[in-house]
Structure 1
Amino acid sequence: MKNVSLRSRTVADIDSQVVKILKGLGNPEPPVDLRVVRELLKLDQGYYSTTDDSLLRETFSRLKVAGLQVLLRPTLLRDAVRSLSLKALYLPDQKRILLDKDLPILKHRWNEAHEIGHDIIPWHEGMMLGDTKQTLSPTCHEMMEAEANYAAGQLLFLGTRFSEEAAASAPNIEAVKKLSKDFGNTVTSTLWRLVEHGHAGRPMVALVTGHPHRGRREAAFDPAAPCRYCVESPAFRERFGHLTEIDLFGTVVGYCGAQRGGSLGQTETILSDRNRDGHVFSFETFYNRHEALTLGFWLRPHVPVRPAWSPAAASF
């Protein structure tokens, strides 16, 4: 699944909301404390569990002013949580965020920031409380999720602060790990951020997949959809967006080893742009024992090596 491109006006509107929050916090140093963000926005936080019916029922008992449909059919929210594999919920009429307590704590940070994103985007409240064909459409839902993800990234990576620090070093997995530690976010979300905002104007791409080696793939691996996420920088989408996830995954398979964790390998490869001109990219893949993280970035134009001319060769 490829990342969604937002309109420039939408980006500007969300940026202005995040700037207000960061100013309200005194432009903090990384990592940003989401507890302080919730206090500033007067947001409440709670937990639910997809495996504990008693906790789900307790959650429902506290929904005193939630949507009428949920009050009349309390199993609706429970079924949605389970069938859609929701990781967090935002209840705009209660100013309340609910996190799935069964997920690893490290993932709570991004999920919480994502729901904060829904809260600070002015047009999301009306759409989330509505029940029209537009708000229920997959396209609308996808766009709202992309907008909330963008807001979460701006908040967790402190606006332009991340871009400035990322641009100061060469793009590679080690740089991603360091930035992940500095900003207190997962390596996966940091890799995503680096590709979208770390080196403006440079074609970059990231893949989040299962283990790419044929001997270590999961039983549910689908060769027609090999990537959980495919993140393209604006420059990559413009010049190389015609390349499919299958094309890119094939490049990764070509150099990755079967290691159980850590670096799976790296290589330089040639990708053709929309004009069929070749370009040299560096690719490297790291496996954290849960998912494989691949970073590919542009190095230089590819100049084909032509054989030297000689009289002897010309005689043939």
Structure 2
Amino acid sequence: MVKNVIIKAKTALDIDRRIERVLKDLGNPEPPLDLEVVRELLELDLAYYTANDPGVLQEVVSKLTMAGKQVIARPSRILDAVRKWDLRALYIPDRKKILLDKDQPLLKHRWHEAHEVGHSLLPWHAGAMLGDNEHTLIPSCHEKLEAEANFAAGRLLFLRDRFAEECLAQDPSFDALKELKKTYGNTYTTTFWRGVETWGKELPILGLITDHPHVFQRGADFDPKYPCKHFIQSSAFAAKFSTTRETDVFDQVVSYCRGNKAGPLGEADVVLTDDNGDDHVFHFESFSFHHQTLTLGVYQAPYKRLVAVA
């Protein structure tokens, strides 16, 4: 499955307090947040590498020295981590340095940088950044650390409760997300993700990030067993619909989506079954942004079966 990891409430509160301190030290800035100012405050350095060119990454690693001595005990560990996890960015605690893959689209640099800032703010991540021990190499542990850094990045880039207040003042919709994207200067994907999580604390909401669902628009590498890049479950959705499968939801999306390459692809009421076996109605709408499709599913009501009376 590609479902997002729901982090523990206590951990989320700890992370949020650290983000609150950063924003307070910055004077509670207006959106969009300037990450260069954040790095200056935290005394973080930024450099670039090219994942497609091992020589460039090796050169960056070789420069990570202090007083003529190698900072990292085993520099090859950085190269191993990049290859193992297919990293697009990484944080090196020893040198307080963030490395970004410059081959990634510029629009993604902002999120990747904020994600690594998140790692830098969480002291319990320091020993796990490069797979320092067997425990941190376990996929479930890696996913947990990434989820925590994502949470920190989201709270930072969306200015904590300010985004939540503006988001909750509007009904869940793509129109609302487009306005919030403009205000906070982040991508549609990250704004969509934060919107699903914010709107979905009390109301079950899910979000899908996929390639185009229409059969005539799918790429050659489409895998019907894993049709979603991300299956975003809000906390309220995860609590009641944890057994919902991405393939079943994707099939529902396929049933109503049109074949146009960009723009609105369609909408429909979809019935999903909760963990108790009861059916519920969600309203789905899908929007294609050329390179990917976002689908928003919002809870409506319990499903009422119509019984014919003779």
TM-score, structure 2 as length reference = 0.93
Matched residue, 2:161 = 160
CA offset at residue 61 of structure 1? 2.8
CA offset at residue 106 of structure 1? 0.8
Matched residue, 2:179 = 178
Listed as ranges, the matches of 1:137-156 within 5 Å are 137-156=138-157
Q: How far, CA to CA, are the matches of 2:59 and 2:232 in structure 1?
A: 38
Residues 1:107 and 2:108 aligned together: yes
Secondary structure of the corresponding residue to residue 124 of structure 2:
helix
Q: How far, CA to CA, are the matches of 1:141 and 1:270 in structure 2?
A: 34
Matched residue, 1:11 = 12
Matched residue, 1:278 = 279
CA offset at residue 54 of structure 1? 5.0
CA offset at residue 200 of structure 1? 2.8
Q: How far, CA to CA, are the matches of 2:93 and 2:192 in structure 1?
A: 30
Secondary structure of the corresponding residue to residue 282 of structure 1:
strand
Residues 1:121 and 2:122 aligned together: yes
**Cα distance per residue 1:114-160 (max 9 Å; x no partner):** 00000001111133366221122212111111111110011011111
Q: How far, CA to CA, are the matches of 1:157 and 1:266 in structure 2?
A: 28
**Cα distance per residue 1:225-248 (max 9 Å; x no partner):** 111100001111111121100111
Matched residue, 1:26 = 27
Matched residue, 2:195 = 194
Matched residue, 1:37 = 38
- Within the candidate set 63, 68, 71, 1:66 is matched to 71
Q: Which runs of 5+ in 1 are unaligned?
A: none
**Cα distance per residue 1:219-278 (max 9 Å; x no partner):** 111111111100001111111121100111011011011111111111112222223332
Secondary structure of the corresponding residue to residue 225 of structure 1:
coil
Secondary structure of the corresponding residue to residue 305 of structure 2:
coil
Asked if 2 retains the 8 angstrom alpha-carbon contact of 1:203 and 1:235, the reply is yes
- CA change 1:118–1:211 in 2 (3 A) is same
Secondary structure of the corresponding residue to residue 282 of structure 2:
strand
Listed as ranges, the matches of 1:219-298 within 5 Å are 219-298=220-299
- CA change 1:129–1:296 in 2 (3 A) is closer
Q: How far, CA to CA, are the matches of 1:188 and 1:262 in structure 2?
A: 15
Q: How far, CA to CA, are the matches of 2:199 and 2:159 in structure 1?
A: 13
Higher mean alpha-carbon deviation, 147-156 vs 190-199, is at 190-199
Q: How far, CA to CA, are the matches of 1:202 and 1:132 in structure 2?
A: 39
Q: Work out which of the two has the higher radius of gyration on C-alpha atoms and give 1 or 2.
A: 1
**Cα distance per residue 1:173-213 (max 9 Å; x no partner):** 12112111111111111111111123430100000111111
Asked if 2 retains the 8 angstrom alpha-carbon contact of 1:66 and 1:91, the reply is no
Higher mean alpha-carbon deviation, 78-87 vs 281-290, is at 78-87
Matched residue, 2:93 = 92
Asked if 2 retains the 8 angstrom alpha-carbon contact of 1:268 and 1:280, the reply is yes
TM-score, structure 1 as length reference = 0.92
CA offset at residue 79 of structure 1? 5.2
Coordinate RMSD, CA, aligned: 1.7
Q: How far, CA to CA, are the matches of 1:204 and 1:233 in structure 2?
A: 6
Secondary structure of the corresponding residue to residue 264 of structure 1:
strand
* Number of equivalent positions: 305
Matched residue, 2:206 = 205
- CA change 1:249–1:137 in 2 (3 A) is same
Q: Which runs of 5+ in 2 are unaligned?
A: none
